Amino acid sequence: MQQPSYGFPAKRSGWGWGPPNAWQGWVVFVAFFVMLIGGAVVLLPGQRIAAFLAWFVLLAAVLVAICVIKGEPPSWRWDQ
């Protein structure tokens, strides 16, 4: 039986996901950072720090949700 291919493999040590192993995952990361910088450019000059923090939390939640859906199930891993 063939192992499933994950877009976001688990980290070698610790908990979570490492860098993506497909171009689609890199597109997700680039989009995350572009939207984060765009939010900073729009919200921070007007001193709307709370709105920027809410924008950041929303973007981070979407990124984690994508990693949960498309990534390898996370678990604690220790260096070997």
Give residue for tokens 């990124």: 63
Domain for residue 7, yes or no?
Answer: no
Tell me if 43 sits within 8 A of 59, measured CB to CB: no
pLDDT at 13: 85
Is 46 a domain residue? yes
What is the Cα–Cα distance from 80 to 44, expressed in whole angstroms?
44
Domain count, the chain: 1
Would the pLDDT of 33 be above 80? Answer: yes
Q: Provide mean pLDDT across the span 9-34.
A: 90
Mean pLDDT across the chain, nearest whole number? Answer: 89
User: Taking a C-beta distance cutoff of 8 angstroms, is the pair 15, 73 a contact?
Assistant: no
The answer as to whether 4 is a domain residue is no
Instruction: Report in angstroms the alpha-carbon separations of 31 from 25, 27, 40, 55, 56.
Output: 10, 6, 14, 14, 13
Q: Whole domain around residue 61: which residue ranges?
A: 23-70
